[in-house]
Structure 1
């Protein structure tokens, strides 16, 4: 690999990518804005951290590479390139989304219902494509949703794109889940995930429901339960709190998406239809789930 340092803030990676400013950082990777000198476009480089946890990071990145390479949808962040061989800096090259995460947007306060309906439709359409491919994301949360400026204002200011498939799994791949290890983010986990059951597509619908509830109201659905093991146990039999201020159509959709029994939740396709009704301002959202 060629890593030619051009300045304290930029470097040429593998003779192709000019690293620029850092746009995100987590426990396993740092994300940079970069320039692809071969194709003349701006990309995002997800550089994996070395040291402790590097093997797990690389495994997650290989999962993300394999799953994203099989998917193509406007509501999913696109994968362009990857370098995951050992003894070299490991990275993924992805679509650069020039906007905030949903988590960052939510710090400014609740999102207006009509705008949120557009975002819900985007994310449900992305999940429908993921589920149709036999994949479960398992970590739908505000920080994994990127907001890109829409090309037209007809759909609101932002378009939503789902990112980070590092702990996603194929529905028929039992090797992705090891007994005793719960994968995901507790705040947005479905009850069956806390029971260490095999994840089905309904876990993503539940998580999306909690994300939309928090974006709409400014309050997490399980905030009153606190955190820790005791709170997780109480969540197995407790529905998320939906304030009385949430109107009937939104309430009906969110209640269905966050049913404790996964069999009673709508599919992602049904959520798409319901979100379209909310965008249009229809008086009654139609859901076929029980």
Structure 2
């Protein structure tokens, strides 16, 4: 695998739109840990607004996972919200069974545009919050303007309490990954492949509604004939005890759609909040090191 370490974040640029601010599709895969002390029957993520949910991921096939998914629009004090609800859990053998305490599950979703995360929590069999079931998350938004990539991390949680996270790192990738590849069971998501994010080393504590933005200019050398690279970013809680986020942002058609032409832009960002690094790499042609 060819790998290029860099000291600044990098993204790709859509030809013909160099002077326009842009946001693209948002893919997020969350590795979440059941630390409630009891079995869990479901998991919910509450998003602000009514973003288009293009796809969802219900868990690693040979691990604990869910067999049902719903998108529910709810009126709330913040306005309309969208609840992503995973339920009907299965054990690794594919038999119905609640998620035991101290187990991890991978869930993911693809949005047409990023949306603030208001709440995320484990539920009982009725879809109600389990005591101690909150998994406190940060919102992430990526924009691209005039070859400058901006990654914003925000505490939009409705509990209005401070949030401490860590950005573990980034890497660049030719093309983009499907939701099923954005989890820590994929060797390519090992932190050893990632390099530190400039300005985002160590714990980051955000007050309610506070955000932090990290910026970097796109090197012209990255806009070669082989197509633009993807940026993958990782974040999570500082000790990786409750969640690790791998989120990607890109322009063009999502994975599973017709390939993007070489004159189109694909800027993919995977954010995993947990323990930190960031690297730039070319996708292996055959095997990985």
**Which structure has the greater CA radius of gyration?**
1
| TM-score, normalised by the number of residues in structure 2 | 0.26
